[in-house]
Structure 1
Amino acid sequence: MQDATAEDLDLISLTQLRQVANQSPQPYRLHLQVESRLEKTTSAGSPFFEVKLVDAADSLVWRIFDNNPLFADAAKLARNAFIQLAGQWVDGKYGIEPRQVQMRLLTEDETSTLLLGDPDLASRQQADYADILAFIESLRDPRLLKLCLLFLERHGERFRRTGAARKNHHARRGGLVEHVAQMMRCASAVAAVYPQLNRDLMIAGVLFHDCGKLWENVYAESGFTMPYNLTAEMLGHIPLGLELVNKLWRDMMEDPAAAGWAALEPASEVVRLHLLHLIAAHHGSLEFGSPVLPKTPEAIALHHVDNIDAKLEMFRRGYASSKELGPGIYEKFPPWPVNIVAPLPSVPPPQGEGVS
């Protein structure tokens, strides 16, 4: 394949590639960032490189063996470099991989375009952030309203580039915004069905339950890599979230407006403790990292809302990327322990009164 024809190939994302890749070679080019490059050795003692490549929504491991014409070029790949890979793509022995591939660095304009992310994904995340603002502005407790707005004022930009996880769900730049927005929709619906739940506390708890991930799962300002850092590694997102909310709360209570809240019931200190409990208990059990078990209705509801959204996102990813083993049967994927089955088509909710 010559350079001229390489640039003529359709430019697609990793997500799009997963949807079309099979055992037959297919010509495409992809714009990607190098997250890591590891040098390894085969069982026969031959060297090879394992390069993790990422874009706005997905990742791919590319293995370059010593008989590959690009082996020497791969040895020079720098972490965080932006590259184009153009060639024939197949779903082979090591997963999706390029063959007869050409590689070059991206231009500044190409890099800027890549960093904007997939247009559809960027549009959805923008809508999700707008929904988060709308839910926050609907809060009636002035303390929780002020606290949520203070968080977005100080950390909104960082929030918008944080993933909800490294691997399992919403593991992409902006994924935490998607996760929080959908959880708020679910929490609001649950609170409408169970009016004994404090809706304001639920909405604020959703916003803050993973706020420690702004340090544990934050993406670089100008890239799709999620670097590790000592603070997150040694503490984890739950203690970090508790510390952040405590700091925001103290700062908020120093505002002159806080003097007007002295007569509110429940007392501000009680509200603070209930909010902190939602953060501390949202994993639901000690073995999954919660320092305490859920002890309030809002805590158990928030835990299940979090779990529902995370699990359904795993299924969405599984349908989009797993191999179809048979009609409607898809291969299991980490961390899901079993194969998954295609769902029935969704049905619009019934209209009218008297339907339960």
Structure 2
Amino acid sequence: MDQTPTQTQTPTQTQTPTPTPTTNLAIRDFPTNGIVSGKYLLLDSRLKTDKNGKPYINGVLGDNTGKISLKIWGAGQEFQEQITPGCVIEIRNAQVREFNGFLQIELDAARKNTYQIYEANSEEVIALLPVTPSDRDELWQQIETAVASVTATHYKNLLQRIFGNKETQRLFRNIPAGARKHHAYIGGLMEHTARVAALCVKMAQVYPEADHNLLVAGALLHDIGKIETYNLSRGFDMTDDGRFFGHLVIGARLVEQEITRMRTDEGLAFPEQAAQKLLHLLLSHHGTLEWGSPVEPLILEACLLHHADNLDAQAMRFGAARRDAVGKDWVYDETLARTIFVGDADV
């Protein structure tokens, strides 16, 4: 007997709605698995190869609210030569995804209708740069408080001359502490310096044999060379002097020149050994030759400054990872070079 075959029924599937594109959304407000459009600053761009041997761009986009990882699939050497940090990328309907606990934007180099790359003027670049989450006026007050804690006349005169200069103030309030690794945002130098100085004030209390005046003066000036190391007109780009000499040498040079002007132009006393020790703190604060210091710490104050500097840089990375991580308790931080816990503290 013939049997009529039964009709196979296809299960009803729930369609996931396509996310509505969001235009010119601040990076800090990017939705996970959302679609975004807007203009963002390219902060970093590096050519890499995936596990299948195909090239891609691993970059970082930023605006004045934060940063996000950028992947441009299928982009090779020719594409890499067309883009440099400091250019603006206008993205159209780009996908935001979570990867390893952080958000990233993905583009396909072949789909040229989804992005446009162009050179921006310095005003537009600066407007898109990430900014410290801290209040910059409060940070400056912390700098002034640390200066006021220095009682030795020669150190105090030096600090007042340097930080009293209007152009130095302008640069110091805006320059980052680094281009990639820590405090890489407008105001980062001032934030980092204020915290290192605060740590050194406490260290001088814990180690009373340390010279408070020397230590705090060194903390306030340890990264002063960065005001001539970075140029904001093309993102966090380095100046020629920054590339040739580095901020340690530039900083020591700036301080030594100011000490010379104090002595010759103003007739102000600055003991020779005090100058030597202060310059030693500036040149040794990275701690080791491998980390870029031309000399290792040789006095207690230099040792304390090195550890305060490194402590704040690493603490900032832990704090940023906790703030930026999405949906995971454990994430890998490239700067710290290890997987760290960023889950709730109240477990």
Query: Does structure 2 retain, via aligned residues, the 8 Å contact 1:39–1:48?
Result: yes
Q: 1:91 aligns with which of 87, 97, 117?
A: 97
1:163 counterpart = 2:176: yes
Q: Given the superposition, is the C-alpha separation of residues 286 and 59 from structure 1 closer, same or farther in structure 2, using an over 3 Å criterion? A: same
> Is residue 48–residue 64 contact of structure 1 (8 Å, CA) maintained in 2?
yes
What is the 5 A alignment of 1:89-238?
89-91=95-97, 96-97=104-105, 111=124, 114-115=127-128, 121=132, 124-152=135-163, 153=165, 154-216=167-229, 218-220=230-232, 222=233, 225-238=235-248
In 1, are the aligned partners of 2:284 and 2:295 still within 8 Å (CA)? Answer: yes
State the shift of 1:156 in Å: 2.0
Shift of 1:249: 0.9
Give me the whole-angstrom Cα distance separating, in 1, the residues matched to 2:307 and 2:99.
Answer: 38
What secondary structure sits across from 2:136 in the alignment?
Answer: helix
Report the CA distance shift for 1:290/1:78 in structure 2 as closer, same or farther (over 3 A). Answer: closer
Alignment TM-score, normalising by the size of structure 1:
0.72
What's 2:16 paired with?
none
Report whether the alignment pairs 1:293 with 2:296.
yes
Alignment of structure 1 residues 310-329 onto 2, 5 Å: 310-322=313-325, 325=328, 328=329
* C-alpha distance in structure 2 between counterparts of 1:203 and 1:102, whole Å: 51
After alignment, is 25-34 or 45-54 more displaced? 45-54
Q: Shift in Å at residue 34 of structure 1?
A: 3.7
Cα deviation per residue 1:164-207 (whole Å; 9 max; x = unaligned)?
12222112222111100111111111212222222221121012
Q: Structure 1's 48 and 287: CA in aligned 2 closer, same or farther, altered over 3 A?
A: closer
Q: Look up the equivalent residue of 2:25 and give its one-letter code.
A: L
Aligned partner of 2:69 among 57, 60, 70 = 60
Gaps of 5+ in 1: 67-71, 262-266, 347-356
- For residues 1-27 of structure 1, give each alpha carbon's deviation from its aligned partner in whole angstroms, at most 9, with x where no partner exists: xxxx86x657222x443xx53xxx324
Residue 250 of structure 1: aligned partner: 260
Mind listing any 5+ residue stretches in structure 2 that lack a counterpart?
A: 1-19
When Rg is computed on C-alpha atoms for both structures, the one with the higher figure is: 2
C-alpha distance in structure 2 between counterparts of 1:60 and 1:42, whole Å: 16
- CA 1:243–1:28: 2 relative to 1, 3 Å: same
Once the 2 structures are TM-superposed, how far is the Cα of residue 250 of structure 1 from its aligned partner?
Answer: 0.6
Structural RMSD (CA): 3.9
Q: Structure 1 pair 113/168, CA: closer, same or farther in 2 (3 Å)?
A: closer
AA matched with 1:250:
T
- Residues 304 and 230 of structure 1: is their aligned pair in 2 closer, same or farther, counting only changes over 3 Å? same
Letter in 1 for 2:332: K
2:338 is paired with a residue of what secondary structure?
coil
Shift in Å at residue 315 of structure 1? 0.8
Percent sequence identity over matched residues? 24
Q: 1:195 to 1:30 in 2, by over 3 A?
A: farther
- By how many angstroms is 1:239 displaced? 1.6
In structure 2, distance between residues paired with 1:280 and 1:106: 37
In structure 2, do the counterparts of structure 1 residues 35 and 344 end up closer, same or farther at CA, with 3 Å as the change threshold? closer
Q: Deviations over 1:110-158 (max 9, x none)?
A: 949935865xx46523311221122113321222122122222152222
One-letter amino acid matched to 1:210: D
**AA aligned opposite 2:105:** E
Distance in structure 2 (CA, Å) of the matches to 1:213 and 1:112: 19
